[in-house]
Amino acid sequence: MSLFVIGYYALLIGASCLAAYFAKRSAFLLLFSLTLASFIMGIVGGVPALRAVTIAAATLALAAGTSYAFREFLVQILPEGISKEIKTAPLTAAFGMFVIFTYAIAGIFAPVIAPHGEAEVISSAFAPADENMLLGADQLGRDMFSRIVYGARNSVGLALVATSLAFIMGALGGLFAATKGGWLDQILGRAADVIMSVPSLIFALLMLSILGTSLWVIVVVVAVIYSPRVFRLTRAVAGNVVVMDYIEAARLRGEGTWYLIRKEILPNSTAPLIAEFGLEFCFVFLLIAGLSFLGLGIQPPTADWGSMVRENATLISFGDITPLIPAAAIALLTVAVNFVVDWMLYRSSGLKE
């Protein structure tokens, strides 16, 4: 038995005993469960399995520590009202905010961070990583690291614009439908049902094949696809608000529709709509990445994570995980946004610990 195995089990058992002695029930259950799982994995997989568990545990610990530090940083720099809310955020939400902040910095300062241009050919095809290329080269000899950094600007930026447009269209339609009712509500509701009845990917492929694949066409098509989801949620939330007595009092005062939406309905519907914006962003982001993977999204030579997976998929056959890096970037951002949205939904639901 190696010193690594002895030290590994001694550390876990010692930490479990300390947690039990200080009556830290959650920590004890976690540590002792990890000890039992490691014991089984050690029998089945040997030392390599224990090393994998160690790396995974260290990664989780690093993520938890980073999340805690970032949450405390936000508490210190933000105004008092917001900092109190951030202080109560779980570590998962803090981790999501940290990832979103990192992606935002990468997208905004991409020309400064990336050592090369997104379309600059600097080496041979599929060249290995070296001191000039941290992740090697793609199928044309372009720096993969630089293209991933620029992809944060292109992929996330396009998804953010499309989500904003979908949200504006759907939210305004839902607010007017709930306030006016009647024939306007019926027309908008039936139009939303028709669009939602068609699978989003098929609808997008059809429209992009007809209209082309320019950036503005992608934005408009994706916004049209997802605006009905926002419309239905906004219509449901605003429908619960327009029946309130203070809305009727405002109508009797002679207030117009726009005043009711802006001053009375929207302020009382903000929390679920903000959470819905995060969910819609995930859907839009994944759809655009899927379209790029199929060749109908962001077009070359513009760096995009979806197309980067397709262009470098050949490397997987040789055991190179480079194509999985842009895929991991897509997955990480999606998980991070969902962490933040879950926390916001928890807050807006009125639930307490």
96 domain residue, yes or no: no
31 domain residue, yes or no: yes
Q: Which of 278, 306, 301, 304 is nearest to 290 (CA)?
A: 306
Residues 153 and 34 in one domain: no
Q: Which domain CATH number covers 169?
A: 1.10.3720.10
User: What confidence score (pLDDT) does residue 352 get?
Assistant: 45
**Given the structure tokens 């055991």, which residue do they identify?**
319
- Residue type at 232 in one-letter notation: R
For 89, half-sphere exposure in the C-beta direction (CA atoms, 13 angstrom radius) is 31
Say if residues 238 and 178 touch (Cβ distance below 8 Å): yes
107, two tokens: 């997208």
Say whether 122 sits in a helix, a strand or coil. coil
Choosing from 67, 82, 103, the residue where a domain stops is 67
Say if residues 145 and 114 touch (Cβ distance below 8 Å): yes
Compute φ and ψ for 269, nearest 5 degrees. Answer: -125, 10
User: What confidence score (pLDDT) does residue 353 get?
Assistant: 43
Residues 63 and 126 in one domain: no
CA 187 – CA 101 distance, rounded (Å): 40
73 domain residue, yes or no: no
86 domain residue, yes or no: no
| Chain-centre distance for alpha carbon 149 | 16
172 domain residue, yes or no: yes
**Length of the chain, in residues:** 353
Q: Which of 152, 300, 165 is nearest to 227 (CA)?
A: 165
CA 337 – CA 100 distance, rounded (Å): 7
CA 110 – CA 149 distance, rounded (Å): 6
Choosing from 67, 83, 102, the residue where a domain stops is 67
Structural domains counted in the chain: 2
Say if residues 222 and 311 touch (Cβ distance below 8 Å): no
294, two tokens: 């199929």
Choosing from 67, 82, 98, the residue where a domain stops is 67
CA 55 – CA 61 distance, rounded (Å): 10
User: What confidence score (pLDDT) does residue 165 get?
Assistant: 93
User: What confidence score (pLDDT) does residue 95 get?
Assistant: 93
Residues 54 and 199 in one domain: no
Residues 182 and 59 in one domain: no
Q: Most distant CA pair in the chain: distance in Å?
A: 84
Residues 17 and 164 in one domain: no
Q: Which of 104, 38, 42, 80 is nearest to 281 (CA)?
A: 104
Residues 265 and 197 in one domain: yes
111 domain residue, yes or no: no
Residues 169 and 244 in one domain: yes
Q: Which of 64, 5, 63, 61 is nearest to 35 (CA)?
A: 5
329 domain residue, yes or no: yes
Residues 151 and 47 in one domain: no
Q: Which residue range is the domain that position 262 belongs to?
A: 117-348
Query: Residues with Cβ < 8 Å from 148, sequence gap 6 or more?
Result: 135, 303, 305, 308, 325, 326, 329
pTM of the model: 0.82
Residues 335 and 257 in one domain: yes
Say if residues 251 and 261 touch (Cβ distance below 8 Å): no
Compute φ and ψ for 201, nearest 5 degrees. Answer: -65, -40
Say whether 88 sits in a helix, a strand or coil. coil
CA 32 – CA 18 distance, rounded (Å): 11
User: What confidence score (pLDDT) does residue 225 get?
Assistant: 92
Residues 52 and 124 in one domain: no
19, two tokens: 């947690």
Residues 134 and 255 in one domain: yes
CA 93 – CA 102 distance, rounded (Å): 14
258 domain residue, yes or no: yes
**Given the structure tokens 């904003």, which residue do they identify?**
164
User: What confidence score (pLDDT) does residue 322 get?
Assistant: 79
CA 329 – CA 47 distance, rounded (Å): 30
Residues 153 and 254 in one domain: yes
pLDDT per 10-residue tile (average), the chain, 353 residues: 75 85 82 81 77 81 89 88 85 92 90 87 82 82 88 89 92 86 85 88 88 88 91 86 78 77 78 83 90 85 86 78 86 91 76 44
